[in-house]
């Protein structure tokens, strides 16, 4: 059976979008890199499960390997490639998906957000001929963006503070039901400054250690990217990983060996930097007006 015209159009736009994004990064002085897909030690995350591959794992993200490259002297790097997360299925989730991950030495986390807004708008202009789109019945200008703190979002849309939601064990529930649907409507929204206990690889803000240097990007209620001002303290990172491993063990999730190369990089000295991971299948969905990842992947 031949592919229908809508799917063919989406795949062509996907190709053009990836090319436009690469061009943006090349012009900004980023080096494109490739790191292994099959790895020995993923970063332990509390709510993300890996896919086993013989005695190893398929990466959930290239994050740790790319940080090793930063420690070895690279300054601005990116890669586009497959990542895997077990038991992910739905219109916006797949076990295998395509990730854009990028890091910049000496760049603040909000500065990286501004760069991100710029390449999203530029890519839209190139592949669609406009930065104005309609998605889910909403008119969105991809050239406009805002920063909203997590605490402000909870106060405005959930009627409580983020700390109160966390204390009631309702943070994730309220985030999904009350907060996310209100983000990215009309413009890009960078939801920033997460509570300190919700950013395992992000450093805490120097002026307010109750929150971490983290943002997530939303368009039309869809989370597209997650970014950190990177944690560089090896001791603190070990403590956070140990806490995550205890959580995973209690939940019956995979056990991981220590990421030796990553910790060696931290000991050598990971430079002050910021990094982001963006789901390109979801960005393609938004650009195409699609409602299911299956409509934008071969």
Q: Per residue in 58-85, pLDDT tens?
A: 999 999 999 999 999 999 999 999 999 9
- The rounded average pLDDT for each run of 10 residues, N- to C-terminus, in the chain (298 residues) is 84 98 98 98 94 96 97 97 94 94 97 98 98 95 98 97 95 97 97 92 94 97 97 94 94 95 95 97 97 94
Phi, psi of 20 (to 5 degrees): -65, -40
Cβ within 8 Å of residue 106, ≥6 positions away: 75, 271, 272, 273
Q: Report the DSSP beta bridge partners of residue 3.
A: none
* Exposure string for 186-224, b = 16+ CB within 10 A, e = fewer: eebbbbbbbbbebbbbbbbbeeeeebbbbbbbbbbbbbb
User: Could you write out the DSSP letters of every residue in 137-173?
Assistant: TEEEEEEEEEEEEHHHHHHHHTSS-HHHHHHTT-HHH
| Whole-structure pTM value | 0.96
The domains located in the chain, with CATH, are 5-295 (3.30.930.10)
pLDDT at 135: 95
User: Could you write out the DSSP letters of every residue in 25-59?
Assistant: HHHTTPEE----SEES-----TT---EEETTEEE-
Neighbours of 169 (CB within 10 A): 8
pLDDT at 175: 97
pLDDT at 1: 52
**Own/partner pairs for 88-93, CB < 8 Å, 24+ apart?**
91/291, 91/292, 91/293, 92/222, 92/282, 92/285, 92/293, 93/293
Q: Report the DSSP beta bridge partners of residue 257.
A: none
User: Beta strand 204-205 with 56-58: parallel, antiparallel or unpaired?
Assistant: unpaired
pLDDT at 199: 84
- Closest C-alpha to 166, from 146, 142, 195: 195
Neighbours of 149 (CB within 10 A): 16
């Amino acid at each position: 059976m031949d592919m229908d015209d809508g799917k063919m159009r989406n795949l062509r736009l996907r190709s053009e979008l990836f090319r436009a994004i690469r061009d943006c990064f090349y012009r900004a002085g980023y080096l494109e890199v490739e790191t292994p897909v099959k790895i020995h030690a993923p970063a332990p995350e509390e709510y993300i499960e890996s896919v086993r591959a013989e005695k190893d794992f398929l990466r959930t993200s290239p994050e740790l390997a790319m940080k090793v490259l930063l420690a070895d002297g690279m300054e601005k790097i990116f890669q586009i490639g497959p990542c895997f997360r077990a038991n992910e299925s739905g219109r916006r989730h797949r076990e295998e998906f395509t990730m854009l991950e990028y890091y910049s030495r000496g760049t603040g986390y909000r500065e990286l957000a501004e760069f991100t807004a710029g390449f999203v708008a530029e890519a839209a202009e190139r592949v669609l001929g406009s930065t104005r789109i309609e998605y889910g019945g909403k008119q969105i200008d991809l050239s406009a963006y805002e920063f909203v703190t997590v605490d402000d979002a909870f106060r405005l849309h959930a009627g409580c503070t983020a700390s109160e939601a966390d204390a009631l064990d309702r943070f994730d529930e309220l985030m999904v039901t009350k907060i996310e649907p209100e983000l990215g409507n009309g413009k890009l929204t960078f939801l920033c400054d997460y509570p300190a206990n919700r950013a395992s690889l992000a450093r805490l803000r120097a002026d307010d250690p109750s929150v971490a240097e983290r943002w997530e990007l939303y368009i039309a209620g869809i989370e597209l990217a997650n970014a950190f001002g990177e944690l560089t303290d090896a001791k603190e990172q070990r403590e956070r990983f140990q806490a995550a491993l205890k959580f995973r063990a209690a939940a019956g999730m995979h056990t991981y060996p220590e990421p030796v190369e990553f910790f060696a990089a931290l000991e050598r000295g990971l430079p002050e930097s910021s990094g982001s991971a963006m789901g390109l299948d979801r960005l393609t969905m938004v650009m195409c007006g699609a409602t299911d990842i299956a409509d934008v992947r071969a």
